[in-house]
Amino acid sequence: MNLTIQKSSVVRNVAARTAPQSSAIELRSATKRFGEKTVLHALDLAVQPGEFLAIVGRSGCGKSTLLRLLAGLDDATAGEVTIDNGRVRGVSQGTRIMFQEHRLLPWRTLLQNVGLGMHGEWQPIARKALEQVGLGERGDDWPSMLSGGQRQRVALARALVHDPRLLLLDEPLGALDALTRIEMQNLIEGLWQKKGFTVVLITHDVDEAIALADRVVLLEGGRVGMDIRVNMSRPRHRSSTTFGELTEQVLNRVLQRTEEPSRSMRNGVSSLK
């Protein structure tokens, strides 16, 4: 009897890190042009199921464009974008995206915002999603009653309520103050560990990328300029030597510095904005 229970819990744990909870992504020679301007140049990129990938790069280098292709909000001009070996055609149920702006409807309660578009017995499911982001008691409140960080929590709940296999995050914490940001990072990391979905996080904050991601990709002029693994145990400590070295390595590459590599770190710079 005991053995059966143990066995089934092992199966569950393994399943939590593999399909269908998480999606595999593949871009093959993905190109995106707007008129004469080529924004993504024959991009090749594969993301494993359950992987936490961060994409960093200067403003205008094509990060959001890439995310829109993955979300099915826009089509590649040439090449292929596949999720779980299927070509992305329009918005898919298994993929959710979160932006820097919360995009909550001000005339709907938090619970209604989270349950938007759901049918049947949606309230308990939406309430549970609010609980997971620490706002279980606030379902009947209005978005205007919340702080910026709390609104982003609701936006996260709205994405998670659909049990996504792929969570796309386009600088979702960009407008938050430093402490709220770290709280949100911890929340996202915890939920990702628990649920096992794949994450693609765009951030201008190299520190955030190193704190959260298994792997950091630098986009440069629509091409992959750098692709590094972050082999550090979690939770990660910003004060560790490895953390500092990795942050510096990425920043140096972004800023193309060859001399005095420690200067920006001494000045506390870790943002690409």
Ligand X SMILES: Nc1ncnc2c1ncn2[C@@H]1O[C@H](COP(=O)(O)OP(=O)(O)O)[C@@H](O)[C@H]1O
CA torsion, ordered 13, 201, 260, 273, to nearest 10 deg: -160
Going by C-alpha positions, the residue among 200, 252, 260, 265 that lies closest to residue 226 is 252
Out of 23, 64, 185, 270, which residue is the one contacting Mg ion (CB under 5 A)? 64
Under rule CB under 5 A, residue 65 binds Mg ion: no
Strand pairing class (215-220; 223-229): antiparallel
Under rule CB under 5 A, residue 92 binds Mg ion: no
Under rule CB under 6 A, residue 75 binds ligand X: no
In DSSP terms, which residues pair with 46 in a beta bridge?
Answer: 26
Going by C-alpha positions, the residue among 49, 40, 74 that lies closest to residue 200 is 49
Q: Which stretch binds Mg ion (CB under 5 A): 39-47, 59-67, 89-97, 131-139?
A: 59-67
Under rule CB under 6 A, residue 62 binds ligand X: yes
Out of 24, 39, 56, 200, which residue is the one contacting ligand X (CB under 6 A)? 39
Out of 2, 4, 59, 93, which residue is the one contacting ligand X (CB under 6 A)? 59
List % helix, strand, coil for the chain (3-state, nearest 5): 35, 25, 40
Shortest gap between Cβ of 153 and ligand X (angstroms)? 23
Under rule CB under 6 A, residue 273 binds ligand X: no
Q: Measure the CA–CA gap between 70 and 86, rounded to whole angstroms.
A: 12
Under rule CB under 6 A, residue 65 binds ligand X: yes
Given Mg ion, ligand X, none, residue 39, with its beta carbon under 5 to 8 Å by kind, binds ligand X
Q: Which stretch binds ligand X (CB under 6 A): 2-10, 60-68, 82-90, 239-247?
A: 60-68
Contacts of 20 (CB under 8 A, 6+ apart): 94, 165
Task: Using CB under 5 A, list all residues that contact Mg ion.
Answer: 63-64
- What residues line the site for ligand X (CB under 6 A)? 34, 39, 57, 59-65
